[in-house]
Amino acid sequence: MRLTRRYHFAASHRLHSQKLSEETNREVYGKCNNPFGHGHDYVLEVSVRGPVDEQTGLVVNLINLDGLVRREVLEDFDHKNINTQIPTFADSVPTTENVALEIRSRLARKWEGTFQDGLPRLERIRLFETRKNIIQVEEHHGR
């Protein structure tokens, strides 16, 4: 069974790759290459898979999950400038793709410490930059 939990954060960013010329940057990123940045209200979905606990009827303790997402993601991203305030993006472009990968890796590295019984497992991250632009990253597990 899969539980999906939805979170929100507002952030600003600028899309500009140091590996591309000024002209190519403008071509590839269009308005998102504006040097002063712009912003979005991101929606983050975290999906977790596991069995239902017989005593509680829950797949995951939401207090633990919400705490993990708050500490590892929301506190750093919400009402922030992603380019200048998230160290990973000092030399990586904060496209929705790369922001989703960063969020996935932040959750993955604290997952086992948070859910010590090995259940549930992180299955999927979805990040909506806007309602029209959605990135999904799945975790691939042993089997």
- Residue reference for tokens 């990253």: 137
90 belongs to the binding site for its own copies (CB under 8 A)? no
DSSP H helices, 12-95, are 22-29, 62-69, 75-77, 82-85
114 belongs to the binding site for its own copies (CB under 8 A)? no
Catalytic residue among 16, 32, 72, 102: 32
The minimum distance between CB 109 and its own copies, in angstroms, equals 19
37 and 14 Cβ atoms separated by less than 8 Å: yes
67 belongs to the binding site for its own copies (CB under 8 A)? no
β-bridge mates for residue 8, sequence order: 43
Among 26, 72, 108, 137, binds its own copies (CB under 8 A): 137
- Asked if 112 is an active-site residue, the reply is no
- Asked if 40 is an active-site residue, the reply is no
Nearest of 108, 105, 104, 99 to residue 133 by alpha carbon:
99
- Asked if 38 is an active-site residue, the reply is no
> Alpha-carbon distance 30 to 115, whole Å?
42
Binding interface with its own copies (CB under 8 A): 1-7, 10-13, 15, 17, 19-20, 28, 30-32, 34, 36-41, 52, 54-59, 61-63, 78-81, 84-85, 92-98, 100-101, 130-138
Q: Which residues are catalytic?
A: 32, 79, 129
